[in-house]
């Protein structure tokens, strides 16, 4: 079905390009990766993200750090695997360049041999695995005497790396000149399905601006009002949560020769209404107050060698049963912090990762990273990184003997990436990572005794 759909779309766009004088462009990316690891299960999405994160405040007193994760990872699943993922995007622009139609399709990552749920790759081809990633119209406002353009439909957000970067349906306005980059928008992130999606919307309002002071410095900021009041979440019992949060962020980058600096400072505030369906009563509100900060300093040693250091902090909460939520939450992101836990790898491009968001559950994060990149020649480069993963608050758990433990050390990670450019469309990647497991990681191991983790992979990326 997916193949036939793409063939019909391609034929339609080609016919339109000749008959109606529109400009048609096709873009796409395909990843194919073969990898092996000593604990592959750690890469299978253990941390809750997106809308699942918003009912984390607990009222029943039975929630621990470990319950923030979908399940604990095991120490036995090892061996090799193969992964394939592809994205295809068509852009149809009017001949005057004033409007365009964008349709993006995706075959989400499929493991070789996985024929489960009628969507995998197995004998006799694939299953039902094509999804819509983008579907929006972009229209210039210049003919109306207004600078900029609007987008309507399912579109990329790209508001902030640590808060919200993925797609969402909405209406946004964009303006850009030599100094100012401005964006304002409204998103309907969830609706009442019983009314066909026409009523009771959970919504997000966004304002973002970046201003270039000079060639060396750009300052920016953003504001997000995230209202989930009309569509709350259930914690698995009789408690429903209705969050109404806001983000206030300050960002920037500058060069103080020879050091390049970039930063984010983000405050998350708001309240969550709590309703007990068992007694049909409203409970006390939960107040949220949380922080995220990130500072990166880079230095160009010479034309071939660059080094940088990053410190990232996400506030945590050491008591998730009270009325004060202090742990930082992202909306929907893909954070680039190493290979083992987060998403800076071809493995993560293929949707294999421990977490999308820059923290470890309620406990937050305190991460230190040093990395360097060496450009070997015009076609190849190598990069290495050392990352110390810690939590902002203690991870509390019971060890295999039933004794209560607490720790902040998730482990030290060593990463390596080698990239080779085959031609302008094709590149090869070899990557590897080793995690010296810290004591806090014991909380998430099935036997409460976390093993070190090793991963190595090689893949091909085709992009046009």
Condensed to tens digits (0 to 9), the pLDDT of residues 35-60 reads 999 888 888 777 655 555 555 544 33
**Who's near 420: CB < 8 A, 6+ residues apart?**
379, 380, 427, 428, 429
* pLDDT tens for each residue of 366-391: 999 999 999 999 999 999 999 999 99
Segment among 14-18, 149-153, 348-352 with least mean pLDDT: 14-18
The average confidence (pLDDT) of the chain is 86
For 402, other C-beta atoms within 10 Å of its C-beta total 7
For 105, other C-beta atoms within 10 Å of its C-beta total 20
Assign 429 a pLDDT band (cuts: 50, 70, 90): very high
pLDDT surpasses 80 at 71: no
Q: Which of 343, 398, 313 is nearest to 66 (CA)?
A: 398
CB–CB of 341/354 below 8 Å? yes
Assign 65 a pLDDT band (cuts: 50, 70, 90): very low
Q: Which of 220, 228, 266 is nearest to 247 (CA)?
A: 266
- pLDDT in the model for residue 3: 56
Assign 67 a pLDDT band (cuts: 50, 70, 90): very low
Which span out of 14-28, 307-321, 368-382 was modeled with the highest average pLDDT? 368-382
* pLDDT tens for each residue of 337-346: 999 999 999 9
Please compute the mean of the pLDDT values over residues 437-446 and round it to a whole number.
Answer: 87
- pLDDT in the model for residue 15: 54
């Amino acid at each position: 079905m997916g193949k036939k759909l793409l063939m019909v779309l391609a034929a339609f766009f080609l016919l339109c390009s000749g008959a109606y004088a529109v400009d048609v462009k096709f873009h796409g990316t395909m990843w194919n990766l073969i990898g092996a690891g000593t604990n592959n299960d750690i890469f299978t999405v253990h941390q809750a993200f997106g809308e699942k994160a918003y009912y984390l405040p607990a009222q029943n007193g039975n929630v621990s750090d470990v319950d923030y994760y979908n399940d604990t990872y095991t120490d036995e699943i090892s061996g090799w695997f193969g992964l394939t993922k592809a994205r295809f995007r068509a852009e149809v622009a009017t001949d005057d360049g004033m409007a365009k139609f964008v349709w993006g399709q995706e075959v989400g990552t499929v493991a070789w041999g996985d024929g489960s749920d009628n969507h995998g790759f197995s004998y006799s081809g694939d299953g039902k695995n094509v999804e819509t990633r983008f579907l929006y119209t972009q229209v210039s406002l210049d003919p109306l005497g207004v600078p900029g353009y609007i987008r309507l439909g399912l579109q990329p957000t790209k508001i902030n790396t640590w808060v919200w970067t993925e797609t969402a349906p909405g209406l946004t306005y964009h303006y850009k000149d030599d100094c100012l980059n401005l964006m304002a928008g409204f998103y309907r992130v969830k609706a009442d399905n019983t009314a066909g999606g026409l009523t009771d919307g959970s919504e997000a309002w966004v304002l973002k601006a970046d201003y270039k002071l000079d060639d060396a410095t750009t300052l920016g900021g953003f504001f997000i009002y995230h209202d989930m009041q009309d569509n709350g979440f259930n914690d698995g019992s009789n408690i429903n949560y209705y969050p109404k949060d806001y983000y206030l962020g300050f960002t920037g980058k500058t060069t103080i020769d020879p050091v390049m600096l970039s930063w984010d400072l983000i405050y998350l505030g708001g309240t969550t209404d709590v309703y007990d369906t068992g007694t049909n009563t409203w409970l006390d509100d939960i107040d949220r107050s949380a922080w995220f900060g990130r500072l990166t300093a880079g230095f160009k040693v010479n034309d071939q060698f660059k080094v940088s250091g990053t410190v990232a902090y996400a506030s945590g909460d050491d008591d998730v049963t009270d009325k004060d939520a202090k742990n930082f939450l992202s909306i929907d992101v893909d954070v680039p912090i190493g290979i083992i836990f987060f998403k800076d790898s071809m493995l993560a491009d293929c949707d294999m990762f421990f977490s999308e968001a820059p923290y470890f559950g309620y406990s937050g994060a305190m991460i230190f990273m040093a990395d360097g990149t060496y450009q070997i020649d015009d076609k190849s480069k190598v990069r290495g990184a050392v990352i110390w993963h810690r939590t902002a608050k203690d991870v509390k758990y019971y060890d295999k003997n039933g004794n209560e433990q607490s720790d902040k050390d998730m482990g030290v990670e060593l990463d390596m990436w080698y990239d080779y450019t085959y031609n302008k469309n094709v590149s090869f990647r070899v990557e590897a990572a080793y995690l010296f497991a810290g004591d806090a990681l014991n909380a998430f191991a099935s036997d409460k005794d976390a093993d070190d983790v090793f991963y190595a992979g090689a893949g091909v990326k085709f992009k046009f």
